[in-house]
Amino acid sequence: MTLNFDPRAKATALYHGEFRPMFVGGKWVPAQSGQEMQALNPATGEVLATVPRGSAADIDAAVDAARAAFEGPWSKFSPYERQCVLLRIADLFETHWEELSVSDTLDMGLPITRTLANRRRVIGMLRFYAGMATALHGESIDNSIPGEIVSFTRREPVGVVGAIIPWNAPTAASIWKIAPALATGCTIVLKPSEDASLTPLLIARLMQEAGVPDGVVNVVTGTGTEAGARLAEHPDVNKIVFTGSTLTGQAIARAGVTNLKRVSLELGGKSPIIVCRDADIDKAVPVAAMAVFVHSGQICIAGSRLFVAREIHDEFVRRVAEFAGRLRIGHGIEAETEIGPLINARQAGKVVGYIKAGRDEGAELMAGGSRLTGGPYDGGNFIAPTVFGAVSDKMTIAREEIFGPVISAMPFDTLDEAVARANATPYGLAAGIFTSHLGTAHKLARRIKAGSVWVNMYHAIDPAVPFGGMKMSGYGREGGIEHLHEYLETKSIWIQT
Ligand code: NAD
């Protein structure tokens, strides 16, 4: 793909191993302890910058700042003024989109063509929630109590929001938390992943430039067990919105019990894709393959269990394996790269372990299967897109979230069987169906237990459409109007006239 700018030049201008402070109460500060962490480029292993290793004391300061802003200047902003702030942020994002995209690519490896393509998902979210800021309303209710009593509801902001996000989409994940918070009149403390802190700090700079009052948006960098855990249990945080693994989500839900804070959780998945025998194979092969390989499998919605009707199974899986073999793997900053690195050596080692488990348990390796080293891969965490055939439901690779570029393909004989096996997982985040029969699409979509079901497509996410999980994939929805309600309290007011 040809870009109209040079991503390498922008990358060189962006980070040079320097210290990047965090953003608390409108000030750029180091950690109170003075500790720092390195931000590494997953494609090369080089140090991009260092950032503060914030701890409980830094979270406490940020929550205090967020509380003061919530009670103070931010509470005086009318919905229209909050809308204007969000629209100014959106305009700044347009101006700085190349810089944000390059930063995301350096921070977590996703190829530049894909970070650039997230524009609508991110800026659209800012504009969508800007629009909603002036559309919030309560209801007038005709109660059944005799007499002249008026009752109605008001929507009020929940208060200080703590947002904890993973590393695989720093810009989108930050904005999907910040935009609804600002639209509803909440303030927010954002704790990015220790593996991708740089873009959230750039975002904080744009918030400041857009005129967001001090303390309304705070970004505290640090680890999950120190900064994250404190934010989750903090007694003055009213709501936690979390995206990450199911295990951490459970810890966060437990921590929230201290002050009964509201919690919404976007967690892991082991999403099924069902390819019916009447599917358009030419169209389904690349979509099903990229349902996993995009971002090297490091997406919560990865369609990693591929159920294919037995009549077409062998041909379909062979073609998915051929597709995997043709993908261009490399540093995400190159415009022609299709698949970037995994986030760090630990994650790459974990994926290699899963690939070994697949082999040991008898699955047939049809593509990939190894870590890539030498030449352009030196210092990076690259794994070849991997396809396993002859997988059974009981195998480790068919049950556990791998968060790497690994497809487990399996044949099925009847649609009832496919649905039962697709649903036989603790997760319920997403699913894909490929069929050319409209009735089959509707029947299957209704029966699959997942928060999002895509038919003859995958991956689509839009600010106006709710996204979230069932079962162990979490609760709460992001996107759409109902997302806003998670940042709002409903107050009932009664007046004796
Ligand atoms: P993770 O759970 O390890 O970390 C996510 C965030 O939680 C990080 O900021 C981390 O510092 C913090 N954290 C860790 N321990 C904590 C604790 N005890 N208390 C508070 N915070 C803590 O997840 P990850 O490895 O960064 O991301 C991968 C996981 O995220 C996968 O399971 C993936 O499916 C999931 N994910 C889900 C979605 C979704 O929308 N459903 C999107 C992206 C990723």
Q: For residue 476, give the amino acid letter.
A: G
Place of tokens 């007038």: 140
SS3 471: strand
Confidence of residue 482 (pLDDT cuts 50, 70, 90): confident
Which atom of ligand 1 is found nearest the CA of 194?
A: 11
CA distance 378 to 367: 22
Digit-coded pLDDT (tens) for 288-320: 999 999 999 999 999 999 999 999 999 999 999
CA distance 475 to 471: 8
Does residue 146 have a pLDDT over 90?
no
Q: For residue 254, give the amino acid letter.
A: R
Mean pLDDT of the region 86-111: 98
> 153 forms bridges with which residues in the sheet?
492
Please name the residues in contact with 189: beta carbons below 8 A apart, sequence gap of 6 or more.
59, 62, 63, 66, 160, 161, 162, 163, 218, 219, 220, 231, 237
Does residue 1 have a pLDDT over 80?
no
- pLDDT number for residue 2: 84
DSSP state of 44: T
Does residue 134 have a pLDDT over 80?
yes
**What is the widest separation between alpha-carbon atoms in the chain?**
82
Q: For residue 384, give the amino acid letter.
A: A
Mean pLDDT of the region 126-146: 95
Ligand 1 geometric centre to CA of 491 (Å) = 33
Digit-coded pLDDT (tens) for 30-39: 999 999 999 9
Mean pLDDT of the region 346-357: 98
Digit-coded pLDDT (tens) for 270-295: 999 999 999 999 999 999 999 999 99
Mean pLDDT of the region 183-210: 98
Q: Is the ipTM of this structure higher than 0.90?
A: yes
Which atom of ligand 1 is found nearest the CA of 193?
A: 9
Confidence of residue 7 (pLDDT cuts 50, 70, 90): very high
Ligand 1 geometric centre to CA of 416 (Å) = 34
CA distance 270 to 291: 12
Whole-model pTM? Answer: 0.97
CA distance 458 to 1: 22
Mean pLDDT of the region 171-193: 98
Contact criterion met (CB below 8 Å) for 307 and 272: yes
- pLDDT number for residue 448: 98
Question: Catalytic pick from 99, 194, 226, 266?
Answer: 266
Q: Are strands 371-372 and 382-383 parallel, antiparallel or unpaired?
A: antiparallel
- The preferred substitution site among 230, 300, 381 for testing ligand 1, maximizing ligand atoms within 8 Å of CB, is 300
- pLDDT number for residue 202: 98
To the nearest 10°, report the CA torsion of 427, 430, 432, 438. Answer: 110
Instruction: Count Cβ atoms below 10 Å from residue 113 Cβ, excluding itself.
Output: 18
Backbone angles phi, psi at 453, to 5 degrees: -125, 125
Does residue 430 have a pLDDT over 80?
yes
- CA distance to 282, 283, 436, 482, per residue, from 279 (Å): 9, 8, 5, 34
- pLDDT number for residue 183: 98
Task: Provide the mean pLDDT of the chain.
Answer: 97
- The preferred substitution site among 53, 59, 164 for testing ligand 1, maximizing ligand atoms within 8 Å of CB, is 164
Confidence of residue 352 (pLDDT cuts 50, 70, 90): very high
Known catalytic membership, residue 266: yes
172 close to ligand 1 (CB < 6 Angstrom): no
